[in-house]
């Protein structure tokens, strides 16, 4: 199975800060990497697919980069509505696997 | 508008069974691979399994943690997907989400999710 490791597990940020979340795969997954945002009591929401493609309707302050084993989600200027938990997920092979999540909190 | 609605969750004793349903609307269900993902309270997301569309072989696949106990099926005539859970364990307690797997070229991702249904396994 492909293991996905996210870091950090949590972070505190102020509105307007640049936020970076890392995700590492245990083996190469090319660009088969997706990012989701989840707010409490809600279903996950797709932000980025294929490592760097922005899902329709998602603000351009979100961006993704990377390939192979190392990936990054960046929020260029975090807004109040961005405080949530973020998950990476590999779609290279079944079983599909998610990272452990990164909780972005207000400083 | 595309939508997924799960139902069938509830309280069940260890060793018991439960069948979850996922009602789809607003998109071509028969052409879509459907997945189940679960989330224990305060924990991360865990993929449970999938059922492929008939054009895509109609086959199912499962996470090791549920293989042999859970069965995923679909009824394209009713736009429904199902998750039948047997020999339930306390560690199966979670919110269960139904999700559509969308294909864009060589890439695929979960682009549509239901709100989830809570399964509690407890005596």
What pLDDT does residue B41 have?
97
Q: What are the residues whose beta carbons fall under 8 Å from the beta carbon of A20, sequence distance 6 or more?
A: A72, A73, A74
Q: How many angstroms away from the CA of B58 is the closest CA of chain A?
A: 16
pLDDT, tens digit (0-9, with 9 covering 90-100), for A78-96: 999 999 999 999 999 999 9
Q: How far apart are CA A15 and CA A32, in angstroms?
A: 30
Which DSSP state fits B57? Answer: T
From the list B47, B64, B107, which residue is nearest A49 (CB)? Answer: B107
For B15, counting Cβ atoms within 10 Å of its Cβ (0-12 exposed, 13-18 middle, 19+ buried), the class is: exposed
pLDDT value at A20 more than 90? yes
From the list B45, B64, B107, which residue is nearest A44 (CB)? Answer: B45
Query: Using a CB cutoff of 8 Å and minimum separation of 24, what contacts does B60-64 make?
Result: B61/A94, B61/A95, B63/A95, B64/A1, B64/A95
From the list B64, B107, B113, which residue is nearest A44 (CB)? Answer: B113
Poorest-pLDDT segment among A52-66, B66-80, B97-111: B97-111
Percent of chain B with pLDDT over 90: 93
**φ/ψ of residue B56, rounded to 5:** -105, 25
- pLDDT band at residue B113 under the 50/70/90 scheme: very high
What pLDDT does residue B58 have?
75
Q: How many angstroms away from the CA of A61 is the closest CA of chain B?
A: 19
pLDDT value at B56 more than 80? no
**Chain B residues with beta carbon closer than 8 angstroms to that of A50:** 104, 107, 109
Q: Which residue is closest to A100 within chain B, CA to CA?
A: B44
Q: How far apart are CA B43 and CA B55, in angstroms?
A: 35
In 3-state terms, what secondary structure has residue B30?
helix
pLDDT value at B105 more than 90? no
pLDDT, tens digit (0-9, with 9 covering 90-100), for B13-36: 999 999 999 999 999 999 999 999
Place of tokens 């973020």: A86
- pLDDT band at residue B104 under the 50/70/90 scheme: confident
- pLDDT band at residue B87 under the 50/70/90 scheme: very high
What pLDDT does residue B55 have?
82
Mean pLDDT of the A2-14 span? 97
- pLDDT band at residue B106 under the 50/70/90 scheme: confident
């Amino acid at each position: 199975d492909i293991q996905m490791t996210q870091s950090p597990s949590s972070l505190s940020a102020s509105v307007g800060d640049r936020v970076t979340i890392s995700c590492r795969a245990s083996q190469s997954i090319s660009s088969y990497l997706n990012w989701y945002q989840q707010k409490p009591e809600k279903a996950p929401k797709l932000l980025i697919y294929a490592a760097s493609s922005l899902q329709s309707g998602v603000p351009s302050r979100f961006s993704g980069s990377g390939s192979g084993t190392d990936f990054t989600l960046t929020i260029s200027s975090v807004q109040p509505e961005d405080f949530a938990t973020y998950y990476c997920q590999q779609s290279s092979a079944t079983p599909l696997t998610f990272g452990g999540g990164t909780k972005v909190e207000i400083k | 508008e595309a939508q997924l609605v799960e139902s069938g969750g509830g309280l069940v004793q260890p060793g018991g069974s439960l069948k979850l349903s996922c009602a789809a609307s607003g998109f071509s269900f028969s052409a879509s691979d459907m997945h189940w993902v679960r989330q224990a309270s305060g924990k991360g997301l865990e993929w449970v399994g999938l059922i492929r569309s008939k054009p895509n072989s109609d086959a199912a696949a499962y996470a090791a943690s549920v293989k042999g106990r859970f069965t995923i099926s679909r009824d394209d005539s009713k736009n429904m997907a199902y998750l039948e859970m047997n020999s339930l364990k306390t560690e199966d307690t979670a919110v269960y989400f139904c999700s559509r797997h969308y294909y864009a070229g060589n890439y695929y991702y979960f682009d549509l999710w239901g709100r989830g249904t809570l399964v509690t396994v407890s005596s």
